[in-house]
Amino acid sequence: MAPRHATLACLCLSLLLGGCTTTAVTVEATFPERPVVQQLPVAVAVVYDDDFQSYTLAESIPQRGNWEIDLGAAQVALFRAMLPAIFSAVTEREALGPEPEDSGAELLLRPQLQDMQFSIPYQTRSNFFEVWLKYEIELYERDGETLVARYPLTGYGRTRDGFLDSAQVAIEQAAITALRDAGAFFAIEFPRNQDALTAARTRAQQLRAEKARAEADAEAAAEGAADAVEDVTAASPADVPQSPREETP
């Protein structure tokens, strides 16, 4: 094989193999500093479900192979650092459900990562690695069923190409910046919306009371109907009025 053809074949093989590689990124972050905000006199139980704790984004980029970004542990670390600065007491739960009677938590809080996107310089023809995060914070009453409110939460981070040693490190740093951005937004904006939260809790409690009354009325009606059927069934033939018989002349 001619040297030129051999070089071309090697280049094609390299590109083919490169397109099948997987770039694995594990975002490892600690957030020792807590945001300086006015703490609310509210105790919450926060639910970190399995999907949230183990979240990994898998995406394929043409000619740049597969990417896997493990964000689960880092986003749990963010909320563990942020929430105690906002609420007077924070406990953790693994699943959404009724709060124990001896718990002091007034609300259940469940963070949900709705979307994560990222880009590399090859895609945007820019000099940056970028990460976008979109969260929704759900608040429930103590019963674990009555939804009080949903708070949208976004975060953005980027790192300049060539500033760090590798693409993995660049994406990791961009993701950490996005997490910090989302945490700062929530810590600042959530305490400002307490009037809206109070109104939402009032509406939720009214709806729960109306639902309880409707269920009680339906149960009473069903019991009344069952009692009526039992009364008719228990009646003897002598108790049932007989129609008069006509005598034959």
CA distances from 45 to 106, 155, 185 (A): 8, 23, 20
pLDDT of residue 13: 39
Lowest mean pLDDT among 2-16, 76-90, 199-213: 2-16
SS (H, E, C) the chain: CCHHHHHHHHHHHHHHHHCCCEEEEECCCCCCCCCCCCCEEEEEEEECCHHHHCCEEEEEECCCEEEEEECHHHHHHHHHHHHHHHEEEEEEECCCCCCCCCCCCCEEEEEEEEEEEEECHHHHCCCEEEEEEEEEEEEECCCCCCEEEEEEEEEEEEEECCCCCCHHHHHHHHHHHHHHHHHHHHHHHHHHHHHHHHHHHHHHHHHHHHHHHHHHHHHHHHHHHHHHHHHHHHCCHHHCCCCCCCCCC
Look over the chain and give the mean of its residue pLDDT values, rounded to a whole number. 84
What confidence tier does 18 reach under pLDDT thresholds 50, 70, 90? very low
Better-scored residue on pLDDT, 15 or 132 = 132
pLDDT of residue 19: 46
pLDDT of residue 203: 81
Domains of the chain: 20-191 (3.40.50)
Which of 105, 195, 112 minimizes the C-alpha distance to 141? 105
pLDDT of residue 16: 42
Segment 71-126, tens digit of pLDDT: 999 999 999 999 999 999 999 999 999 999 999 999 999 999 999 999 999 888 88
pLDDT of residue 220: 83
Q: For the chain, how long is the longest CA-to-CA vector? A: 129
pLDDT of residue 55: 97
Q: For residue 202, give both structure tokens.
A: 């009032």
Which of 128, 122, 90 minimizes the C-alpha distance to 108? 90
pLDDT of residue 4: 46
pLDDT of residue 161: 79
pLDDT of residue 12: 41
What is the DSSP pairing of strand 107-119 with strand 56-61? unpaired
What confidence tier does 127 reach under pLDDT thresholds 50, 70, 90? confident
Residue 63 has pLDDT above 70, yes or no: yes
Better-scored residue on pLDDT, 171 or 229 = 171
pLDDT of residue 6: 43
CA dihedral 40, 46, 51, 52 (to 10 degrees): 30
Segment 128-186, tens digit of pLDDT: 999 999 999 999 999 999 999 999 999 999 998 766 678 899 999 999 999 999 999 99
